[in-house]
Each structure stands twice: as structure tokens, then as C-alpha cells.
Structure 1
Amino acid sequence: MATDLEYIEYLVDQIALGDRLTYKKMFGEYALYVDGKVVAFACDNSLFIKPSNAVASLAPDLPQRPPYPGAKDYPVADELLDDSDVIRRLILETASLMPAPKPKQPAKPQGKRGK
């Protein structure tokens, strides 16, 4: 089951980071970004946080399961969504531990084919 846009809008409202939190649709599901860093995925209308020391220290008891078939287990933060302060802190702490996004390479010019 794909994630509903309404669920994504709910997540954005609950996390309340304004323009710092963005999302991108990927294969019917969504990746969530803070300042360009991937911090979570929304799959099947559940919030999967990237595994990190932030989760281990702030929410060690979160259930874990794979966000999609074949994936490793990720912490599922659905139970934290009713507390904006807690989920925001977890998302921000996770973002602080993620590497900066790689700069995009400029597109290579297309060569002429044949004569």
C-alpha cells in the first residue's frame, strides 16, 4: 500500500520544521529530508526513522521492521507522532548525525550522433 499525501502533510505538520523539512515521492512512498539530508521514510503510512545514535539514545524502545520488502529493519516512530516536541527533536538529532548531501554533478553535454 502506498503512502497517502494526507499522511505526509500530517507528518510535516507534526514535525513542524517549516521549510527545513521537505519530502520527495519515491516509488509510491516518500523520503523525508531536513536541510537536504535524508532522515526518514514514510512507507505504508508509517514513519521509519534512519537508524542512528539519536534513535538509540532518544527512543531506544521503538519497534523495528523493514519499510519495504528486502530492506533492513528501521525504527518505526508512529507512536511519537502525537508529541510534536519529541518527534521534532528525534528528527533534528537524526539530521545532525547524517552526512551532508553530495553535490550534484553537472549534466554531461550530449554528443552528436552519426553524420
Structure 2
Amino acid sequence: MPTDKDFVDYVAEQAQLGGALSFKRMFGEYGVYLDGKVIAFICDNSLFVKPTGATDIITQALPKRSPYPQAKPYPVADELLDDSDALKSLLVRTAQDLPLPKPKKLRSSAKGSGI
């Protein structure tokens, strides 16, 4: 079941991170980005937070499920949606623990100039 846009809007509202938090639609679901880093996924109207060493303690009580087939289990942060401070803290902490994305390689338009 694809995620409802209303659920994505609710997550954004509850996280209270303003424009630093963004969402990218992927295969009927959403990637969640904080300052350009993928920190979570929203699949089937649930929030799956990327596991990191820094967040293991915060997420140890959360249930874990796979966001999509063949994926490893991720902590499901749905129960934090009613606690904006805890949700915001988890998302910020996750972003802090993840590396910046690798820059994309530029494609050259000419394969050998022949000069």
C-alpha cells in the first residue's frame, strides 16, 4: 500500500525541523532527508529510521521491520510521532551519525575528443 501524502505531511509537522527536512517520492513511498542526508524512509504509512550506532540506545525499544522486501529491519518510529521532541531528537541524531552523501560523478559529454 503506497504511503498517503497526508502521513508525510504529518511526519514533517511533528518533526518540527522546517525546511531542513525534505521528502523525495520513490516507488510510491518516500525517502526522508535532513540536510541532504537520507535518514529515514516512509513506507506503508510508517516511519523507518536508518539504524546508526548513535541511535541504537534511543531505538532499542522500538519495533523493527523491513521497509520493503529484502531490506534489513529498521527501527519503526511510529510511536514517537506523538512526541515531537523525541522524534526531532532521533532524526537530528541520526543525521549527525550518517556520512554526507558522496558527490555524483559528472558525465563527460564527449568520449574522447579525437584531437
Per the TM superposition, whether the score is higher than 0.5 is yes
Matching of residues 1-115 of structure 1 within 5 Å: 1-109=1-109
Residues 65 and 73, structure 1, Cα contact 8 Å, conserved in 2: yes
Equivalent pairs, count: 111
Equivalent residue letter for 2:19? D
The TM-score normalised by the length of structure 2 is: 0.91
Structure 2 unaligned runs (5+)? none
Q: CA RMSD in A?
A: 1.2
Residues 54 and 90, structure 1, Cα contact 8 Å, conserved in 2: no
Q: CA deviation at 1:110?
A: 6.0
Q: CA deviation at 1:72?
A: 0.8
Deviating runs (4+, > 4 A) in structure 1? none
Comparing 14-23 and 102-111, the one that deviates more: 102-111
Equivalent residue letter for 1:44? D
Q: CA deviation at 1:30?
A: 0.4
Q: CA deviation at 1:50?
A: 0.2
% same residue: 52
Counterparts of 2:110 and 2:4 in 1: how far apart (Å)? Answer: 38
Counterparts of 1:102 and 1:64 in 2: how far apart (Å)? Answer: 28
